[in-house]
Structure 1
Amino acid sequence: METLRQTLRNIAKRDMAQDSAHDLAHLDRVWTTSQRIAETEGGDLRVLIGAAYLHDLVNLPKDAPNRAQASRLAAEAAAPHLIALGFADAEIENTRHAIEAHSFSAGIEPETLEARILRDADRMDAIGAIGIARAFSVSGQLNRPIYHPDDPFAAGRTPDDRAYSLDHWPVKLLRLAEGMQTATGRAMAQGRVAAMHRFLTDIAGEIGSEPPQHWNTASC
């Protein structure tokens, strides 16, 4: 399995357009989390490792107009590599589906255990401490301010995550735990979301504001 991992990692290193949020370290974390979930939930590890390392093989910018097509394009790009590595037809089909269904913007429902695990593992990387770091890194690349200077937590306005980094939290990030597909993923996600709420309390104190109680996952 380690030889396969290194081969897949080298393919991604060569072919994937990397940024600070979608790099080899992200792929390593998705694979590690996939294994943790699979320890309890089961799943085909060959399919999971193929999907973990090739799911961002086509990595389009967050503001690209065809962003929703990225996972389908990545699945297409992954297929020749999987064939060359000796994956069986059923393994290739399952790996491609997992890649296609992992994306938030694609809107494809996962139909296999491996697809559910990969989705959970990828979304887990968008929350918690690493998720906070990735979110601000991407916002910096897009030249977006951290928060609205007069209404940082959108108490009196509609959140706009194309304009402010923190607005992405209620729009998407704090909702991800609700959509976890496995029991293991849901349990892991709760701890990570709690870390994000602690951060929001800290940043609110530093900027002289009240924490955004309306941003809990039940009401945001």
Structure 2
Amino acid sequence: MEALRAALREAVAARMVTDAAHDLAHLDRVWANCLDIAKHEAAPNMRVLLGATYLHDLVNLAKNDPQRDQASQLAAKDAAPILGRLRYSDSETDAARHAIQSHSFSAGIEPKSSEARILQDADRLDAIGAIGIARTFAVAGALKLALYDPQDPFAERRPLNDRLWALDHWPVKLFRLPQTMKTKTGRDIARARVAEMRRFAESLAVEIGTDLPDTWR
């Protein structure tokens, strides 16, 4: 498996358009999450899961790209010849392609296999917790967003808007991710990671001289 993993990393490094949130380190973290989840869930095909993990962001479009909801389907299409060169069978390739297609939040495709459910959860886990905090502000920098609204940091008197303020993305999407997890293990890890983000929000509130609303706790 390590030789196959190295070959997949090499293939994706030659193709992947990277950003601070979607690079080889992201793929390695998602694979680590997959391994953690797979220990406790229905036995997946690990070759399929490995291939899908390292090729799931082969086509990566910016969050503000109008075609972003198509990225996972484009990635699945481009993954097929790579998997073929690495001697995946037709059935393994089809299974990996489905996992790639359904991993994306914006695609809205329901994962129908163990591998697809695990990959979706593993990828979403990388958006929360300590790494999720870092990714939020890295992406905000790339999109030239303000970190938070200085007049109302926690949106107590205004609608949430994560197209203007990075911190708003947490209640808009990230705090909701535990409820979207398809595996029990994924849900358990997600709850712990969101709790870590809420603790960060408490510290942030102190440092900027305000109180954290109960809705953020």
Common fold: TM-score over 0.5: yes
Give deviations 1:155-181, integer Å, cap 9, x for gaps.
111100000000101111111111111
> How far apart are the structure 2 equivalents of 1:21 and 1:210?
30
Q: Does the aligned pair in 2 maintain the 1:128–1:193 contact within 8 Å? A: yes
Is the Cα contact below 8 Å between 1:200 and 1:212 reproduced in 2? no
Counterpart in the other structure of 1:197 = 198
Aligned residue in 1 for 2:96: 95
Number of the residue aligned with 1:27: 27
Q: Which residue of 2 aligns with 1:111?
A: 112
Q: Hey, what's the Cα distance between the residues in 1 that align with 2:74 and 2:112? A: 19
Q: Which residue of 1 aligns with 2:209?
A: 208
Q: Deviations over 1:95-134 (max 9, x none)?
A: 0010010101111111111100000000000000001001
Residue 162 of structure 2 is matched in structure 1 by 161
Name the count of aligned residue pairs. Answer: 216
1:5-24 equivalence runs, <5 A: 5-24=5-24
Q: Which residue of 2 aligns with 1:137?
A: 138
Residue type at the aligned position of 1:146: L
Deviation at 1:214, TM superposition (A): 1.4
Q: What per-residue deviation string (whole Å, max 9, x for no partner) do you get for residues 18-43 of structure 1?
A: 01110000000101110111111121
Shift of 1:69: 0.5
Identity %: 57
Cα offset for 1:46?
A: 0.4
Unpaired runs of at least 5, structure 2:
none
Q: Which runs of 5+ in 1 are unaligned?
A: none
User: Structure 1: which 4+ aligned runs deviate by more than 6 Å?
Assistant: none
The separation in 2 between residues aligned to 1:211 and 1:4, in whole angstroms, is 47
Q: Aligned equivalents of 2:188 and 2:8: distance in 1?
A: 29
Q: Which amino acid aligns with 1:121?
A: A
Letter of the structure 2 residue corresponding to residue 96 of structure 1: R
- The amino acid that maps onto 1:28 is D
Q: Distance in 1 between matches of 2:104 and 2:89?
A: 24
In the alignment, does 2:40 pair up with 1:40?
yes
Give the TM-score normalised by structure 2: 0.98
AA partner of residue 92 (structure 1)? T
- For residues 205 and 11 of structure 2, what CA distance do their matches in structure 1 show? 42
Query: Once the 2 structures are TM-superposed, how far is the Cα of residue 212 of structure 1 from its aligned partner?
Result: 3.0
Whole-Å Cα distance in 2 between the matches of residues 188 and 86 of structure 1?
33
Q: Which residue of 1 aligns with 2:72?
A: 71
Give the TM-score of the pair, scaled to structure 1. 0.96
2:27 is aligned with what amino acid? Answer: L
RMSD, aligned CA: 0.8
Measured in 2, the distance between the counterparts of 1:158 and 1:95 equals: 39
Deviations 1:49-91 (A, max 9, x none): 0011000000111111101100000000100101111111111
- By how many angstroms is 1:211 displaced? 1.0
Counterpart CA distance in 2 for 1:22 and 1:193 is: 20
Q: 1:40 is paired with a residue of what secondary structure?
A: coil
